[in-house]
Structure 1
């Protein structure tokens, strides 16, 4: 089996733009995380986006009704896990750790995505993949702790939340590919936020947090919902339709680069020498994987897109 490339004009630049918008997430989320519970922030992110997407919801639900139980379960996991719970974990990581670690640890998502794709979609990885996955994991460890040999509880908690979010987002990516055979990208986006909203509300209730926010938080919540949220996700799906996965992986490196630059420049974040080393190792490892896939196409073997997939 060989990797299939998207049809039409290559839009690698659009994937990079979306990833750069994701990189603004920390700049917007940190201030809110200091004032509001993580679950409240996530609830309002979903609510604001759903208000905008609600005209598209009936057609998305009709499309989902034509699918089978596998797609229904996948949409529930995408909305409840990848959208609501993962974002809550990601926000909580900012409350217990520094503003850079959660953003860059999210780059472990490709590692989790490949493993999930192997289980769910039958996509296979070759032994050469470990040459990139092991350094990426080692780099993530260096990045998570100022002193990698002296692990603090707070730092460990932030790293755990961040890695949990990355794993859930990876599951969302794989399941999104699964349902894309029957649903359009627009429908998947609409269902992701719409299904995620009640799950986000449930998380608020379970944790005993508040649904109420002040007008002082309105601007920050709106920017968070529509810039690294709806806008970035919409651009990403449009770009991904006509961008080979290997080039998309390279383009997504705009995310940690933007996040690290903004964190150090505007969020008063500081990194120890080993954390800078870890940042470099993660970027080099993920870049190397993307380059190897593009040039030699050996570490990851991708299943062809099923016939009759939705555009």
Structure 2
């Protein structure tokens, strides 16, 4: 396997061709779309911070046998990876969700949705600055339709959008930036740590941050047994299982491509909402759904078949610390 092969995706398939896992990132993001089906009944009984805290607690309990090994692997890495893991766990996993929820609590439901659509832009810029990923012109053929489709999907009338409230805007921008950072830094640490360790560290670091958020909001830590099943399913399906797939896929997927594959999340969430939560969609939202699905599917197909890929990744540095 040549250095060029490794620089494209991190692994190699048959005949030395780099293995692409954009599709696996999309599958993981689609599983995140089931979040609403499980979270909505819990939101009626529990504060959002309490739900996030229990999600982390349940996952850390399940992964507890792997925590010592993950911590040892992290200790063999450098300060750059330590900082990345801290941001992923404390920022992208716990704080971003709290910021996004707080943005909605201002009473302005439009502003967070509008500004969240900047997440792919943040991710692409961060991937260029942090990872050295370079985009070819072909990237726009997938990025522009995908982001436009996500915009159509978010709003019943995409031409009649009014947003205000500086506080809501800043909170939503903070959440979008942290989620984008999670994509980019997840790709960064995946070159030094196995995907299982990245998943373990994300929730282990995120747990104390989630606990601090609950305390800061003055919410209770305790929940009733009636919510135990819902919390368990929420933690294990769109939480642990989806994140495990995500980091496995991200290890072989440049961040600039992964952020588009993650748009499978809102597409699946809409399908779940219409099918199970009695939501309705306008014609433009249906059009947006089709565009997003088509763009993400085409991106995955292109990366498996094309000789010239739209994202150029520099060669990974030689590192043995923390890798299997």
Could you state the TM-score of these two structures normalised by the residue count of structure 1?
Answer: 0.80
Aligned mate of 1:228, from 235, 238, 254: 238
Alpha-carbon distance change, 243 to 224 in structure 1, aligned in 2, over 3 angstroms: same
Aligned residue pair count: 308
Contact 2:9 2:251 in 1 (8 A): no
Deviation (angstroms), 1:72:
1.2
User: In the alignment, which residue of structure 1 is the partner of 2:155?
Assistant: 145
User: In the alignment, which residue of structure 1 is the partner of 2:127?
Assistant: 117
Q: Distance in 2 between matches of 1:136 and 1:147?
A: 18
Q: Distance in 2 between matches of 1:245 and 1:137?
A: 16
Deviation (angstroms), 1:183:
1.9
What is the aligned-residue RMSD (CA, Å)?
A: 3.8
Contact 1:30 1:94 in 2 (8 A): no
Aligned mate of 1:4, from 5, 9, 16: 9
User: In the alignment, which residue of structure 1 is the partner of 2:270?
Assistant: 260
Q: Deviations over 1:21-57 (max 9, x none)?
A: 3231111112222322221111110011111222221
Q: How does 1:96-135 map to 2 (within 5 A)?
A: 110-135=120-145
Alpha-carbon distance change, 162 to 292 in structure 1, aligned in 2, over 3 angstroms: farther
User: In the alignment, which residue of structure 1 is the partner of 2:293?
Assistant: 283
Alpha-carbon distance change, 21 to 244 in structure 1, aligned in 2, over 3 angstroms: same
Q: Distance in 2 between matches of 1:14 and 1:299?
A: 18
Q: Distance in 1 between matches of 2:252 and 2:143?
A: 26
Structure 2 counterpart SS, 1:170 = helix
Alpha-carbon distance change, 297 to 94 in structure 1, aligned in 2, over 3 angstroms: farther
Q: Distance in 1 between matches of 2:139 and 2:298?
A: 10
Alpha-carbon distance change, 246 to 152 in structure 1, aligned in 2, over 3 angstroms: closer
User: In the alignment, which residue of structure 2 is the partner of 1:191?
Assistant: 201
Deviation (angstroms), 1:211:
1.8
Alpha-carbon distance change, 129 to 178 in structure 1, aligned in 2, over 3 angstroms: same
Is residue 2:310 matched to residue 1:308?
no
Q: Distance in 2 between matches of 1:75 and 1:247?
A: 21
Is residue 2:222 matched to residue 1:212?
yes
Q: Distance in 1 between matches of 2:222 and 2:181?
A: 31
Alpha-carbon distance change, 20 to 282 in structure 1, aligned in 2, over 3 angstroms: closer
Deviation (angstroms), 1:279:
2.5
Q: Distance in 2 between matches of 1:78 and 1:45?
A: 16
User: In the alignment, which residue of structure 2 is the partner of 1:80?
Assistant: 90
Q: Distance in 1 between matches of 2:63 and 2:276?
A: 32
Alpha-carbon distance change, 14 to 117 in structure 1, aligned in 2, over 3 angstroms: closer
Q: Distance in 2 between matches of 1:42 and 1:159?
A: 22
The runs of 5 or more residues in structure 2 that have no matched partner are none
Q: Deviations over 1:72-117 (max 9, x none)?
A: 111110001111123335666888799xx97xx9887555433221
Structure 2 counterpart SS, 1:55 = helix
Deviation (angstroms), 1:164:
5.5
